[in-house]
Amino acid sequence: MPAFQTSPGMRDILPPESERWRRFDAVFAAVAESAGYGQLMTPVLEDLGVFARLGEGGEGVSKEMYQFTDKGGRDVALRPEVTASVCRAFAQHRPTTPWKVWYSGPNFRYEKPQRGRYRQFDQVGIEVVGVDDPMLDVEVIALADEFFRALGLRRITLIVNSLGEPEDRTRYIEALRAHFESFPEGLSATSRETLLRNPLRVLDSKRPEDQAAIAAAPQIADFHSPAAAEHFEAVQAGLRALGVDFVVEPKLVRGLDYYRRTIFEFQSDALDSAQNALGGGGRYDGLVEALGGPPASGVGFALGLDRTLIACDEEGVFQVLPRRLDAFVVDVTGGLQAAAITAALRAAGLTADRGFDNRSMKAQMKLANRSEAAYAVIIGEDEVAAGTVVVKPMDGGEQTNVPRSELVARIQRPTGTDRHD
RNA sequence: GUGGUCAUAGCUCAAUAGGUAGAGCACCAGGUUGUGAUCCUGGCGGUUGGGGGUUCAAGUCCCCUUGGCCACCCCA
């Protein structure tokens, strides 16, 4: 038993899995940057106040926040999400709009860990501040959709809804509360508690005894102001124009108070229905202002690496193969030769590893095999004397003895292709 | 936060009814005094998650604790 191990809900990502994570980021960056988004890097630690507004939504928010007082007496928290930090950054730096950014990194929530749910978890996302145009909602959603496709995922469902303007939303919540409180068949005990805190969330319940009340509940669309309805229509028209499949789900809600108008979520039907949401987002007009900035609308989404990778596993896509080395240098003359040869190979842009500890040729060949190098470069006393090296294809091909000066060329241009010699 | 379940070698797992802890894989070495991936032989490897208790004797039974997993809660 090791004296120390990772704290609950936190883990090491070892190679080669870490390579997959890095490629995940790279694919996301490529999609976002193709649309003019730049990477924003914010601190993982911020003043508690930056996230305080999130607490107005569910009580879970404040309960699950990693917060503490630092040595200067400042109340701080590890970020539970990035959207609030983006808005804080906008308010702080006042960049010109539209401000289009993407991000990737760890977030922290003090939850009870289980598979696909960690206390430190990575998310990628994009946010745009300062544009009201529904076509921007369309762009953001389409980029998320494009990203899932870039990973190779096919069994993805996009669901969208609109919470309307803040006033619409407020009126709807009151109507919902009234409906649920007076519904004859009542609600489950859990939903009755949810109702006190966040009536919208009751719509999310999957408990059978709640379904009758939910089915009979008022529809948000009936509360949309003309402007909100028009915005939502425009979003749908834009998605259709781009050929992005979607389903309007009137019962889709998001837990936080800051969401306005468009909200959306991507689900994978390759996962259990209980946790099939890979990511989501929406509009949060007003959040920047709430954080001390100018009035500015915002829209964005975030998605989690863990669940998305699980979905990839389920669909058998985005399987990252370990990187192969070009060459593995086996030196049984003490190791100095290998130092020079690997340096030369690397300088030529090739990837090369070598054996250490002056182990036997057999042992070094086993390492070469394990490294999955394309070639073993073997050097012994004979080769040193002759100024040559043995180049052996590890796939079983014939090994050849080549002058040391031709080694790099031989590996860059495999035998059989250099017929002009 | 609530409930359930599990924890044995680096990994995946065995261990009859309490009776000295095993295998496969991996790793190391040799067979092959200059050659991997196959094969053969041998080796390294564990205070059975930790602590306490019952017992002549505990991996096995009891309590506590830590951690994983599952469900609920929550889900930004």
Q: Does residue A290 lie within any of the structural domains?
A: yes
Last residue of a domain, one of A282, A315, A348: A315
Would you say A306 and A277 are in contact if contact means Cβ atoms under 8 Å apart? Answer: no
> Could you tell me the distance in Å between the CA of residue A9 and the C1' of nucleotide B13?
26
Would you say A80 and A109 are in contact if contact means Cβ atoms under 8 Å apart? Answer: yes
A306 and A344 inside one domain: no
DSSP assignment string, A109-151: -----BTTB-SEEEEEEEEEES---HHHHHHHHHHHHHHHHHH
Chain B bases near protein CB atoms (7 A cut-off): 1-3, 27-30, 32, 34-37, 47, 49-50, 66-76
Q: Does residue A222 lie within any of the structural domains?
A: no
A97 and A141 inside one domain: yes
A138 and A286 inside one domain: yes
Q: Does residue A191 lie within any of the structural domains?
A: no
A49 and A111 inside one domain: yes
A275 and A352 inside one domain: no
Partners of A157 in the β-ladder: A267
Q: Which residue is nearest to nucleotide B10 (CA to C1')?
A: A1
Length of chain A: 421
Task: Compute φ and ψ for A387, nearest 5 degrees.
Answer: 70, 30
A387 and A266 inside one domain: no
Q: Does residue A335 lie within any of the structural domains?
A: yes
Which residue type is seen at A382?
Answer: D
A275 and A394 inside one domain: no
pLDDT at A421: 40
Give the H or E element holding residue A295.
Answer: none
Last residue of a domain, one of A315, A345, A369: A315
| Token digits of residue A245 | 């499949």
Closest-lying nucleotide for A51 based on CA to C1': B76
A340 and A311 inside one domain: no
Q: How many CB atoms lie within 10 A of CB A249?
A: 17
pLDDT at A418: 46
What residue numbers bound the domain in which A358 lies?
327-412
Closest-lying nucleotide for A379 based on CA to C1': B34
Mean pLDDT rounded to a whole number for chain A = 91
Dist. CA A328–CA A335, nearest whole Å: 13
Would you say A67 and A48 are in contact if contact means Cβ atoms under 8 Å apart? Answer: yes
Q: Does residue A38 lie within any of the structural domains?
A: yes
Last residue of a domain, one of A271, A289, A315: A315
What parts of chain A have a pLDDT lower than 70?
A: 1-2, 54-61, 273-274, 414-421
| Token digits of residue A331 | 């030196």
**How many domains in chain A?**
2
Q: Does residue A50 lie within any of the structural domains?
A: yes
A263 and A369 inside one domain: no
Closest-lying nucleotide for A123 based on CA to C1': B76
Q: Does residue A320 lie within any of the structural domains?
A: no
pLDDT at A387: 95
pLDDT at A63: 79
Would you say A21 and A122 are in contact if contact means Cβ atoms under 8 Å apart? Answer: yes
ipTM over 0.85: yes
pLDDT at A5: 84
Q: What is the CATH number of the domain that holds A260?
A: 3.30.930.10
A332 and A380 inside one domain: yes
> Could you tell me the distance in Å between the CA of residue A399 and the C1' of nucleotide B23?
39
A280 and A331 inside one domain: no
Q: Does residue A160 lie within any of the structural domains?
A: no
Q: What is the CATH number of the domain that holds A335?
A: 3.40.50.800
pLDDT at A55: 58
> Could you tell me the distance in Å between the CA of residue A214 and the C1' of nucleotide B29?
70
A387 and A268 inside one domain: no
A75-78, strands of its sheet edge to edge? A45-47, A75-78, A67-69
